[in-house]
C-alpha cells in the first residue's frame, strides 16, 4: 500500500474521506448513567472538542466546546433549560450549538434581534442505556435496533476505554480471526510459562458481505465445516461494531491517534431466577494500565489493546507483508475505500438503515444464540462454553468495579472467582 493510501484509510479529522464516511453512522459514546451525577461531559470525536450534556428536560445535546465569543471552554459553564451558558460572559447555546443569547448585547440593545450564529446540529439519542451521536449530514439514518437490546431478564453493563491509537487498525481486528489462536491462546500460554502444545490452528477461513456488515467464518484443526465457527460465523457490524452474543462492542474515532472503545454487555440470568429486572445500567471506565503503569493483559480485550497500540499510533501499512490470513483485513479496507468513494460521489455508503419500519429487533448471527437469548438453568450455564467462564470472572476487559461485580453476582446468584485462561484455549 502506498503511504498516500495509508493516509486515506486512517485520517479521520475534519474533511478527510474516512472521517466523512464514518460520520454517516451513529456511534455509541457514553452510558446514560454517566449523567446521574453530572450534567456535562467534555468529549472529543472526529478531532472536534465537544460537550455532551443533559438539559433540564432530560434531553441530551452535543455541541462545540469552544465558545463563539472569545473561545473559552464552555464545559466550565453551566446547563440552563436545555442549553448551556459559557462561564466567562454568559453566552448561551442551544442543542444545535447555535448561540441564542448574548446577555450584554441584549442588555444594551434590548430591541435588536440577536443574529444567532448557527451550530453544527449534531444529534444525540438514547438507546439501550447508551448515548449515541450522529455528526454527519441530514437526514440521519436510524440507529440499528439490534434484537439483543430487547432481550428480557438480562444483566447489562457498559465498559468504556480510551485507546491511544488510530481507529482503522482497531477495527481491522474484528475481521482477523487468526489472532484468536495466537494473541489470546498461544501467546498467553507461553507468557504463563506453559510449554504445552499450541492450540489447534485455523485451517480455513472465509469472509462474506451481509446486510449488517461482514461475516467471518473459520474452523480449526480437529473440526470441519460443521463447526459453528464456520456455519454460523461471527458478525462484524459495519463500519464500527462487532457482535459476540453476550456483548456488542464499537470503536469510535476521537481523532487520528485516539479511539473510544465501548462494550455493551447483556447476560441473561439463570432461568430459575427469572423474572429479573435491572435498574440503571452501570457504566464504568476500563483502564488499560495498572497503577504501576504496566499494561493490563489478563483480560481478553486488554490483550487486543496491547496489540493495537503496539502497531504504532497510526499503523504504517506501506511496510506490511500481507498473507493468506489477511483476507478479512483486505476485505475491510476495500469496502472502506468503496464507501469513501461513494460518499465523495454523493451516494450512501453500505449498511445505512433509513426505514424505521424495517429497523426492528434486527437479528445478528452468533454461536449458541438460542441459549444466550432464551437463557439456561444455572447448572447448564456454568457448563456452557460461552457463559460458564463469565460466571467465574468478568474476563472480557479488566477493571470491573467491585460494585458492578457485586450487582452481577446478585443477579446471577453466583460468586465469581479466578478466571482460568486454559478454559478459553480451545475456542
> What residue has cell string 473559552?
72
Contacts of residues 185-188 at CB distance under 8 Å and 24 or more positions apart, as own/partner, are 185/424, 185/425, 187/303, 188/303, 188/421
Q: What is the DSSP letter of 286?
A: P
Choose the one of ligand FES, Fe ion, none that binds residue 89, judging by a C-beta under 5 to 8 angstroms depending on kind.
ligand FES
Near Fe ion by CB under 5 A: residue from 34, 256, 304, 371: 304
Pick between residue 8 and residue 87 the one whose CB is nearest to ligand FES: 87
Pick between residue 93 and residue 308 the one whose CB is nearest to ligand FES: 93
Residues 193, 195, 199, CA angle at the centre, nearest 5°? 110
Contact 72, 86 (CB under 8 A): yes
Nearest-approach distance from CB 340 to Fe ion, in angstroms: 26
Pick between residue 101 and residue 407 the one whose CB is nearest to ligand FES: 101
Choose the one of Fe ion, ligand FES, none that binds residue 9, judging by a C-beta under 5 to 8 angstroms depending on kind.
none
Q: Does 69 bind ligand FES (CB under 6 A)?
A: yes
Contact 261, 302 (CB under 8 A): no
Report the alpha-carbon distance of residue 224 to residue 231 in Å, rounded: 9
Q: Does 117 bind ligand FES (CB under 6 A)?
A: no
User: Count residues contacting ligand FES (CB under 6 A)?
Assistant: 9
Choose the one of Fe ion, ligand FES, none that binds residue 271, judging by a C-beta under 5 to 8 angstroms depending on kind.
none
**Segment near ligand FES (CB under 6 A), from 81-89, 228-236, 353-361, 397-405?**
81-89
Provide the pairing of β-strand 234-237 with 83-85: unpaired
Provide the pairing of β-strand 154-163 with 283-285: parallel
Binding mask 264-293 for ligand FES (x = CB under 6 A): ------------------------------
Contact 78, 87 (CB under 8 A): yes
Choose the one of ligand FES, Fe ion, none that binds residue 91, judging by a C-beta under 5 to 8 angstroms depending on kind.
ligand FES
**Secondary element (H or E) of residue 383:** helix 378-383
Q: Does 70 bind ligand FES (CB under 6 A)?
A: yes
Report the alpha-carbon distance of residue 173 to residue 250 in Å, rounded: 12
Nearest-approach distance from CB 318 to ligand FES, in angstroms: 43
**Segment near ligand FES (CB under 6 A), from 10-18, 82-90, 273-281, 312-320?**
82-90
Q: Does 72 bind ligand FES (CB under 6 A)?
A: yes
Q: What is the DSSP letter of 185?
A: I
Q: Does 66 bind ligand FES (CB under 6 A)?
A: no
Q: Does 89 bind ligand FES (CB under 6 A)?
A: yes
Contacts of 322 (CB under 8 A, 6+ apart): 329, 330
Contacts of 160 (CB under 8 A, 6+ apart): 30, 31, 260, 261, 262, 263, 283, 284, 285, 286
**Segment near Fe ion (CB under 5 A), from 64-72, 80-88, 123-131, 303-311?**
303-311
Residues binding ligand FES (CB under 6 A): 67, 69-70, 72, 86, 88-91
Residues binding Fe ion (CB under 5 A): 304
Amino acid at each position: 500500500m502506498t503511504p498516500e493510501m495509508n493516509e486515506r484509510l486512517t485520517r479521520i479529522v475534519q474533511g478527510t474521506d474516512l472521517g466523512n464516511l464514518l460520520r454517516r453512522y451513529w456511534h455509541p459514546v457514553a452510558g446514560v448513567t454517566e449523567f446521574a451525577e453530572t450534567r456535562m461531559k467534555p468529549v472529543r470525536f472526529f478531532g472536534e472538542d465537544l460537550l455532551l450534556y443533559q438539559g433540564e428536560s432530560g434531553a441530551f445535546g452535543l455541541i462545540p466546546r469552544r465558545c463563539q465569543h472569545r473561545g473559552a471552554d464552555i464545559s466550565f459553564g453551566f446547563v440552563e433549560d436545555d442549553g448551556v451558558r459559557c462561564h466567562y460572559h454568559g453566552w448561551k447555546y442551544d442543542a444545535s450549538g447555535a448561540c441564542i443569547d448574548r446577555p450584554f448585547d441584549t442588555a444594551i440593545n434590548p430591541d435588536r434581534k440577536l443574529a444567532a450564529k448557527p451550530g453544527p446540529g449534531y444529534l444525540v439519542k438514547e438507546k439501550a442505556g447508551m448515548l449515541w451521536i450522529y455528526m454527519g449530514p441530514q437526514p440521519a439514518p436510524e440507529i440499528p435496533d439490534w434484537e439483543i437490546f430487547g432481550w428480557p431478564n438480562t444483566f447489562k453493563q457498559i465498559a468504556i476505554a480510551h485507546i491511544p491509537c488510530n481507529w482503522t487498525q482497531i477495527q481491522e481486528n474484528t475481521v482477523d480471526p487468526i489472532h484468536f489462536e495466537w494473541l489470546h491462546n498461544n501467546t498467553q500460554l507461553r507468557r504463563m510459562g506453559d510449554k504445552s502444545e499450541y492450540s489447534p490452528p485455523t485451517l480455513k477461513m472465509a469472509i462474506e458481505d451481509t446486510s449488517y456488515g461482514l461475516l467471518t467464518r473459520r474452523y480449526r484443526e480437529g473440526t470441519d465445516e460443521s463447526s459453528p465457527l464456520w456455519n454460523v460465523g461471527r458478525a462484524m457490524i459495519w463500519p464500527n461494531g462487532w457482535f459476540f452474543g453476550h456483548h456488542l462492542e464499537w470503536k469510535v474515532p476521537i481523532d487520528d491517534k485516539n479511539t473510544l472503545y465501548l462494550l455493551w454487555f447483556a447476560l441473561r440470568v439463570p432461568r430459575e431466577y427469572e423474572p429479573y429486572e435491572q435498574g440503571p445500567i452501570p457504566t464504568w471506565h476500563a483502564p488499560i494500565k495498572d497503577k504501576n503503569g504496566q499494561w493490563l493483559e489478563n483480560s481478553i480485550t486488554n490483550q487486543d489493546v496491547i496489540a493495537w497500540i503496539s502497531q504504532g499510533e497510526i499503523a504504517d501499512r506501506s511496510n506490511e507483508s500481507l498473507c493468506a490470513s489477511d483476507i478479512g483485513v483486505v476485505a475491510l479496507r476495500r469496502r472502506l475505500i468503496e464507501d469513501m468513494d461513494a460518499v465523495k460521489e454523493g451516494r450512501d455508503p453500505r449498511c445505512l438503515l433509513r426505514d424505521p419500519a424495517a429497523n426492528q429487533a434486527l437479528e445478528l448471527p452468533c454461536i449458541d444464540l438460542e441459549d444466550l437469548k432464551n437463557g439456561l438453568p444455572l447448572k447448564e450455564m456454568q457448563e456452557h462454553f460461552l457463559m460458564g467462564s463469565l460466571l467465574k470472572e468478568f474476563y472480557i476487559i479488566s477493571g470491573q468495579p467491585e460494585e458492578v461485580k457485586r450487582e452481577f453476582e446478585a443477579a446471577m446468584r453466583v460468586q465469581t472467582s479466578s478466571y482460568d485462561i486454559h478454559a478459553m484455549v480451545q475456542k
